[in-house]
Structure 1
Amino acid sequence: SELLAKQKRGETLSPNTIALTFDEPDEETYTKAIPLLVQNKIPFTLFISPGLAEQSEWETLKNLRKSDFVTIGLSTFTYGHLGGWSEENITEDLNRAKAIYREKLEQEPDYFAYPLGEYSAQFVSAVQKAGFHAAFGQNSGVMTQATDVMKIPRFTMTDDFGDLDRFRTTSNAMPFPVKDLTPDTSYMMTMPDIGFTIDNRISDNDIKKTKCFSSGTIQPETVFLGTGRIELRFPEAPITDRLRINCTITVAGELPDDDPRYRWLGFLLYFPVKTEAVDFSPEQP
């Protein structure tokens, strides 16, 4: 909440500022990570799906909420790929989740995490109308003053991508300021046009350093169109239902021995039906 308040006021944060969040914390999170964080007075946020939480977890959360360093946020009651739901159905699910949250914790949830980090336009609309102060995805990136607080990016730390080197790299990541971003949601029926315009505060020389890569075996071509506009073009359709695309610009450290830092922009795309290939054909008028 403190970081979001500073963002709203337009205040500059320390270059080393990070926020720790946990989606659907497991037993190891409760028994190992959380005690260390509380002991060392390190703030963090937990996002809970009431449809998955057992009574014993709610008892633990009741105790944790008393700490000044713990924020308890909310996810949907139904946890899964919900981007295809109508806004009405999403709203019903959110109301069900909020009712249980209020009953168990006797407080109002202010912060929301999209399940699996995926959201559609109607999902964002429902979350905003539900009164949440901010909502978080799972596309990689750094929050800035221009970030839509209903679509805040986060770097995920998993068993496969959660070692200390990755933590150091992502903790030192820098903003990648863009506009005219497409797509700006993650739920896709066909492979979208992917592009963005880099802010003119970034030099042409740095723009040319932009490198983009995907989580799949098929990598995109990075096409520079001038005036800071970049588009990503895949030579063939990625064979996957969930695709991550990351773009970075390397920034040299301040001192010769410093490790480089990276401006980082991420996309997370979900295709609801896994097929042999994603449809690349243009939409018909």
Structure 2
Amino acid sequence: MIVKKILSLAASIIKLFIIILLFSSNTKAAEKNIKYYSNDKGILSLMYHRFNEDKYPSTNIQMNVFKQQIEIIKSLNYNFYDPKDLEKNFNTVKTEKKILITIDDAFSSFYDVAWPYLKKEKIPFILFVSTETIGKNGYMTWSQIKELEKENKAYIGNHSHTHDYLVDFKNEEFINDIQTASTIFNNELGYNPIFFSYPFGEYSGFIKEYISKNFKFSFGQHSGVIDINKDRHELPRFPINEKYGNMKRFKFLINLNPLEYKFLYPEEKYLTKNDNPPKFVVEFFKEQKNLNNINCFSDEGGKWEKSNISFYQNSLKLNFREKYNFRRGRINCSLNDDGVWRWFGIQFSVEQN
């Protein structure tokens, strides 16, 4: 019995040492955060793709459902966020929640079906464009994009040239892809957008570093609510489609608040075979309440299950069951904070070769 207690104590000390080591070795990354608890109401960003294209349920939303979702937002008195304000007040605490609409890929169905409605309702949005497909069957043309871009509520974002799996590219190939897209934007619109969206939400440390030097804001495909402590080049969005667009889910997520954190390890979101599964630690702010109410779920091993988590002071450590075996792995954590639901999500890209 005494030996077991000694071993248990030793294990706890080792875990504590690992957490301290992870944070101390990543001071530079932590300094990028504002590092104070703000109780920011946040910006909740929604991601759409196709409209009324029944053949693609994983990326499609029916227009009548989209209109119902917009009405829900209005009924809750949430204002739509104008993307130009990101430059002005990203570091300003939002006392009221805002909703940001984003659309990826510039499919023709967006122009034909959703764009007239958004224009009529004067709802701002970002349309993320992959330059290689523009003008091809099923996609918008440059003439249509320019028509949108003239409106003061419509903003264009860069979504790469090929919309390929950029993490599979060699560094030179990746840079060439982004430079090709930027050149086309400059030729067609006269500027390269300040907004970028990672195709499939996938990026490595190298990709993020390059994008951060060439764009002001970058969006992924992990769920969560933007607050002043979030990395402006890892901005979360909730994907909305036929599978994940039912009204019950939508009403829940649209009311979510940010789950702020001071630091998250690992900063590298591309997992090789040597670091899969990763060592995952989140440091929260000491002012935050009810941290013991946090629940996390992960899809490692190809199935969503509740994660085994442990706390030391304000730090959460997630103990993985097994490796991620698909090309993308996700973690979602939620907190019932005295009736206020808070949320953040993380997506990893997983080496396939």
TM range (shorter): 0.7 to 0.9
8 Å contact 2:281–2:316 — kept in the other structure? Answer: yes
Partner of 2:323: 237
Q: TM-score, normalised by structure 2?
A: 0.69
Partner of 1:225: 311
User: Does 2:169 match 1:90?
Assistant: no
Comparing 264-273 with 47-56, greater Cα deviation is found at 47-56
User: Does 2:296 match 1:212?
Assistant: yes
Match of 2:164 among 80, 91, 100: 80
User: Does 2:249 match 1:166?
Assistant: yes
1:29 and 1:164 map into 2 onto residues whose CA distance is: 21
1:246 positional shift:
0.2
Aligned AA for 2:262?
K
8 Å contact 1:84–1:120 — kept in the other structure? Answer: no
User: Does 2:93 match 1:7?
Assistant: no
Cα-to-partner distance string for 1:44-99 (whole Å, 9 max, x where unaligned): 00000001221652111010011001000111112122124344332221110011
Label 1:96 to 1:238 Cα distance change in 2 as closer, same or farther (>3 A): closer
Aligned AA for 2:96?
P
Cα-to-partner distance string for 1:162-192 (whole Å, 9 max, x where unaligned): 2233333222211111133122343211321
Partner of 2:186: 102
2:279 and 2:124 map into 1 onto residues whose CA distance is: 38
1:38 and 1:14 map into 2 onto residues whose CA distance is: 27
1:31 and 1:140 map into 2 onto residues whose CA distance is: 28
1:6 positional shift:
4.1
1:236 and 1:218 map into 2 onto residues whose CA distance is: 12
Partner of 1:182: 265
8 Å contact 1:220–1:232 — kept in the other structure? Answer: no
CA RMSD of aligned residues (A): 2.0
More helix by share: 2
1:88 and 1:201 map into 2 onto residues whose CA distance is: 44
Cα-to-partner distance string for 1:198-218 (whole Å, 9 max, x where unaligned): 211212xx1110001124425
SS in 1 for 2:156: strand
Give 5+ residue unaligned stretches, structure 1.
Answer: 254-260, 275-285
Following superposition of structure 1 onto structure 2, how do residues 40-119 of structure 1 map, counting pairs within 5 Å?
A: 40-54=121-135, 56-119=140-203
Give 5+ residue unaligned stretches, structure 2.
Answer: 1-82
Following superposition of structure 1 onto structure 2, how do residues 132-151 of structure 1 map, counting pairs within 5 Å?
A: 132-151=215-234
Partner of 2:23: none
8 Å contact 1:241–1:270 — kept in the other structure? Answer: yes
2:298 and 2:141 map into 1 onto residues whose CA distance is: 36
Aligned AA for 1:61?
I
Comparing 56-65 with 100-109, greater Cα deviation is found at 100-109
1:115 positional shift:
0.8
1:3 positional shift:
3.3
Partner of 2:350: 271
Partner of 1:262: 341
2:183 and 2:318 map into 1 onto residues whose CA distance is: 43
Q: How many residues align?
A: 263
8 Å contact 1:141–1:155 — kept in the other structure? Answer: yes
SS in 1 for 2:238: coil
Label 1:251 to 1:25 Cα distance change in 2 as closer, same or farther (>3 A): farther
1:222 positional shift:
3.0
Match of 1:250 among 331, 336, 342: 336
Aligned AA for 2:152?
D
Aligned AA for 2:352?
V
2:241 and 2:328 map into 1 onto residues whose CA distance is: 16
Higher relative contact order (CA 8 A, sep 6+): 2
